Chain A
Amino acid sequence: MSKEKNSASKDAGAQAAEIAAAAVRKNTARRLRKKLKPGKILLYVLVGALLCFTAFPMIAMVCRAFMSLEDLFHYPPYIIVHHPTLGNFKDLFTSLSSSEVPFTRYIFNSLWVTIVTVFLSVFICSMGAYGMVKHKPIGAAVIFNIVVAALGFSSHVTKIPNYMVVSGLGLINSYAALIVPSIATAYNFFLVKQFCEQLPDSLLEAARIDGAKELRVFWTIAMPLLKPAWSTLAVFSFVSNWNDSFSPLVYITSDAMKTLPLALQTMAGGAGVVSRSGTTGAATLLTTAPTIIVYTIMRGRVMQTMTYSGIKS
């Protein structure tokens, strides 16, 4: 807040100039709009076409979930549903309820694992990033650079050594096996770190002079200011953990501990089985729904952070 005040008093002149510039911009925009009428239409057509291509698989996915067998086997294949039916969802739930473990158990597993992971990841990654940027401990930068360089490494190769670590800690077949390995992620750390560098030192210093302990400075001053960064982190963490069907496949052996994506995947028979592709479609739609909901809630912040962290790096 004090930062805002500062800049306000300092840049009163600059602000006036900006307003003038904005007015000029508006003027030119208006002039342009008059000039470029046919260009404008072309622009909309072009963006619209590209949009269609991007949205295409999503539309196909949604439609597939509602297709009857007749539609699925039609040649040439339909994209848009012709005979809508809820049969796929019915099939899915029949095959789900016929298993020994109730369906709600999978939902609970997924929700619990994802939410705990997101919370811990937000906390630990923000704390680490804050500590590294604002305190600059010796040697941390080296580790960080190694981790960033290793981001390009194929994650599947490390799955087996990872499994050894997890089983060495005695975590196999527990929620912790799904939670602990995905907390300290390099990507998340990187995201917050970019944002941390913008934190004004003076603000933290002021809090320290007022007698706040380090943890309190972090929690009551840094965290609220870093909100866009860690909400983005939360979205990404949510998405990747919610969709992760590989870790439960490796770390979980009992049916009751499976997460939703893995359960749906095994029950729908996987993609590529044509006769069940309707069921797969229904399963996909169900698993992606929470992702889209979370994203729509957090949209503004995600955009802001993506924009920001990218430019700075």
Chain B
Amino acid sequence: MGNNKTKKKGMTMRQRKTLEGLMFISPWIIGALLFFVYPILVSLRLSFSDLENVAGLKMSFNGLENYEYLIFTDTNYIANFLSSVKSTCLNTPIILVFSLIIAMLINRDIKGRGFFRTVFFLPVLLGTGYIMQQLLGTGAGDVVTNSVDGIVTGVLLKAVGATFAGYVQTFLSTITVVLWKSGVQIILFLAGLQGIGASLYEAARCDGATEWENFWKITLPIVSPIILLNFVYSMIDQFTDSSNAIISNINHAILDNAQLDIGAAMAWMYFAFTLVVCGIVLLVMRKLTFNIGER
């Protein structure tokens, strides 16, 4: 350090700034490298190796064998992979639509807006707990489905018949799970909506636009960058959700069977796929979003 101090006078402004910046950032970088980047790199190496001994993480390079095993021999992996992708593709648009609708509803001139915001955001905080996830997940003690079951079988079945009751049941149990996944998205949409000046709507109204037209011509284009943000956020959230078939598959391989190499290969294949999908979405959506600054 003493050396640095004597040097300091001879350094350019830029060099000194870099040095100071590094001083500030280095604790974080050390932590991130040690507990985040390094483990990820180890798992990458694991995915291309054969684990000989779990205790010391002894491994030998075996090329693409793990991946080949997963694709051609393992009967579960592809099925789980596809079911995860399917649930993500289904849930992401639903989450987006619901959170936008809720944000627009709360953004109206309505009493108790703060209360509504809090309740819709609370799941973000509660959903991370283990026990809460068990309650929400598809376990045996699934409160949501059980109680929804109760209502449906009790009341609706008698009233409207089995097929329709079935639809209602799936809808109701999906809606709660979707709402529990859209806390962050609602807040982001709300922020976007509040950024739209009332004068725009006023002008549109003077020109005789209806609410419906306002939504398509003003609201939607202006919040489109936030739609993109939320799209990517929800997609990653869905992909990495712990109730996902593939994630539980990975957990099972790693924690129950101690197949670290196979588990790592599973995760990396899945992660690469996620990255590619997100990249494509970003590229496509970026063309479609509307930026006030550019035009």
Name A residues whose Cβ lies closer than 8 Å to a Cβ of B: 21, 24-25, 28-29, 32-33, 43-44, 46-47, 50-51, 53-58, 60-61, 64, 75-79, 124-125, 127-132, 134-138, 140, 143, 146-147, 149-162, 164-165, 180-181, 183-184, 186, 189, 214, 218, 235, 239-240, 243, 245-246, 261, 264-265, 268, 270-274, 277, 280, 283-284, 287-288, 291-292, 295, 299, 302-303, 306-308, 310-311, 313
Contacts and interface: CB of A to CB of B under 8 A. Distances in A.
Given A50-B179, A156-B247, A165-B38, 7 more contacts: A24-B199, A124-B27, A127-B28, A156-B255, A157-B267, A280-B141, A288-B129
Nearest to A306: B187
A53 B198 contact: no
Interface stretch (B72-80, B101-109, B158-166): B101-109
B198 to A, nearest CB: 5
Given A21-B199, A50-B102, A152-B240, A184 B192 contact: no
Contacts, number: 293
Interface of B: 17-25, 27-40, 42-43, 46, 57, 98, 102, 105-106, 108-110, 116-123, 125-126, 128-132, 134-136, 139-141, 143-144, 146-147, 149-151, 153-154, 172, 175-176, 179-180, 184, 187-188, 190-192, 194-195, 197-199, 202, 226, 229, 236, 239-240, 247, 250-251, 254-255, 260, 263-264, 267, 270-271, 274-275, 278
B24 A127 contact: yes
A55 B121 CA distance: 10
A270 B134 CA distance: 9
Nearest to A218: B24
Contact of A131 (B20, B134, B153, B271): B20
Contacts of A43: 105, 108, 110
Nearest 9 interchain pairs by C-beta: A131-B24, A184-B31, A135-B21, A128-B28, A76-B150, A271-B134, A137-B21, A161-B39, A307-B191
A128 B24 contact: yes
B25 to A, nearest CB: 4
Contacts of A24: 198-199, 202
A28 B203 CA distance: 12
A183 B31 CA distance: 7
Contact of B119 (A55, A76, A78, A303): A55
Given A135-B17, A284-B131, A310-B229, A162 B35 contact: yes
B67 to A, nearest CB: 15
A271 B139 contact: yes
Contacts of B39: 158-159, 161-162, 164-165
B226 to A, nearest CB: 7
B110 A47 contact: yes
Contacts of A181: 35
A154 B120 contact: no
A271 B141 contact: yes
Contacts of A78: 147, 150
Contacts of A272: 134, 139-141
Contact of A135 (B20, B172, B188, B275): B20
B106 A47 contact: yes
7 contacts: A54-B179, A61-B132, A143-B32, A146-B37, A152-B278, A186-B36, A271-B135
